[in-house]
Chains A and B, each alone.
Chain A
Amino acid sequence: MTRGFAVSLLLMLGGMVLAFGWHVAVGAKVVPLGTVFEALTAYDSSIFDHVIIVDLRLPRAVYAVLVGASLAVAGALMQGMTRNPLAEPGILGLLTGASFAVVMTIGFFGLLSPAWTPLVAAIGASVTAVLVWAVAAAAPGGSTPLTLVLSGAAITAFLGAFTALANLLDQESFEALRVWLTGTLTGRSPALLWWSLPWITGGMLIAFAIARQVTALALGDETAVGLGVHVARLKALAMLSVIALTAASVSIAGPMGFVGLVIPHVARMFVGADYRLIVPFSAGLGATYLLLVDIAARLVLAPIEVSTGIVTVILGAPFFVWLVRARL
């Protein structure tokens, strides 16, 4: 097991580095990989390609890595915690809740400082999570994978309608948010990255620390109690991590659907059912996935650029359908 693990870890990290290099190299002007490497190691501001790489493309690749890893880890935790293969921040409404809160705050106050954006997104995600769980739990039969998904869909549609309404009433202030609301890695202020970083770091630290307990929890609540897991505390910690990671992702890139659904399942194919492996592999694979998706978003219809979030949904929705057919 250890050798297989080492090999897959190396493969994953190698894939991530390659995807990162490729991501930085492609765009309106293709920069050779050698120049990319030079720009990163021996930056020279008089060389135009170096400036493109470091000022424009590098931040975007970093956003892709952080957002991809965060959403994938959040999805993995949600799936483990709820023992629901369909759980992820998008389907259960957290992405919509977080972006709704951001949009409404900007709508009412006209402006939202980057420092407060992750917090506002976190509040939106938390309230939505509680709402989705409450609606699902009130359904006959309680919160099953199916009622959770349905409740998530209903609340997503509800909040989506309000966002659209606000958009129509005040087109001017929402114009800037239109692209962000489809999930994008372009044109975000670097300040947002810095203000989101503590949230991502905190969320990731919690996720890595509780991974072992999530494996025990996946065996059933009662089994976990018998093994000495403090179930209520563990669920609260996992939720905290999911909210922090989701809020930071939405702050940086808007709602990026289905990343949290697809990646943990792919990670499981490589490493099995132990969350001590699923969590780090989800992080790495999520980062690689979003880098590749973002390359596709920029290349497929070039010179027109598609929102990255649109591509993740186009790829993720069929996977969701397949998962429902195979697992429910």
Chain B
Amino acid sequence: MNVARDLTLDRLKSPKKVSVVPKSRLIVEDLSVGYGAQAVVKGVSLSACEGQLTILVGPNGCGKSTLLKTIARVLRPMYGAATLDGASVHATPTRALAKRMALLPQGPIAPEGLTVQELVSQGRFPHQTLARQWSAEDSRAVAAAMDAADVTEFAERHVDSLSGGQRQRCWIAMILAQETGVILLDEPTTFLDLKVQIDIMSLLQKIAHEQNRTLVVVLHELNIAAMYGDKIVMMRDGRIVDQGTADDVITGENLKSVFALNAHVIKDPISNRPVCLPVVAGPRP
């Protein structure tokens, strides 16, 4: 009672500065996953909060993509569980889950001749049935998603005729049209130019912060992760080594022990975010 009133008062005093603890929607508990008998992810626990961009980083083969795929029910865990709002992801009917959690896998396939509009419309799949194929609600969601991802101008173009960055924005529009509270993305910036990577990450950050959605992203660009992550989860050999804010996790020691990388970590004076600078051996000019 008291707490509730205090919060209300607090809100009245300074409506913008309320610091309510963000709600964890996605919780992973003691999860182990493997191919065959070989565990690739070993007893991992983490949580992802509403309104935040949670970024999984780690060296190649550390299990970060496997972990994401298991959370997305592409893979089944050997042990442990992933829960969305308290219910096990693997026990929820897949269609029902797709209304609450979206996945953009690595390197998705755009069939030849598919238009952007058609691709984005696929995001409405879990909301439709054989009997109820398309509604005004679907049209609204697709238009809003294309607008948010800034692909409306390409609506009638074929997806395979667009550049890598434009295409990735179309895929993001598709999962936005799914209108889920939780969105999982597996390396959404791979093979893109730096400028395009920044555009994509800014878009994802906006989605998380302004629409209060829970985003979990696998990245391998450390500096991009440091720049955008509200929470960084660092993995090695299937285990979580460290998790927390970028300042806590992106440190010289962690880079050394997790990536075997000799690097300075400095602060970007403008964003106040950590930046890794690998130490280059040999004589300097």
Contacts and interface: CB of A to CB of B under 8 A. Distances in A.
A274 B121 CA distance: 11
Size bracket, chain A contacts: 20 to 34
A313 B237 CA distance: 54
Interface in B167-189: 175, 178, 184
B122 interface: yes
B41 interface: no
Interface stretch (B96-104, B139-147, B211-219, B242-250): B96-104
B98 A228 contact: yes
B255 interface: no
B236 interface: no
B72 interface: yes
A227 B126 contact: yes
Interface string A112-152: 00000000000000000000000000000000000000000
A235 interface: no
Contacts of A268: 112-113
A273 B114 contact: yes
A164 interface: no
A220 B113 CA distance: 15
Contacts of A165: none
B105 interface: yes
A178 interface: no
Interface string A213-239: 101101111110111111000000000
Nearest to B130: A209
Contact of B125 (A209, A218, A229): A229
B108 interface: yes
A226 B98 contact: yes
B42 interface: no
A198 interface: no
B282 interface: no
10 contacts: A83-B111, A212-B133, A213-B125, A218-B109, A225-B72, A225-B103, A226-B105, A228-B99, A228-B125, A272-B113
Interface of A: 83, 209, 212-213, 215-216, 218-223, 225-230, 268, 272-274
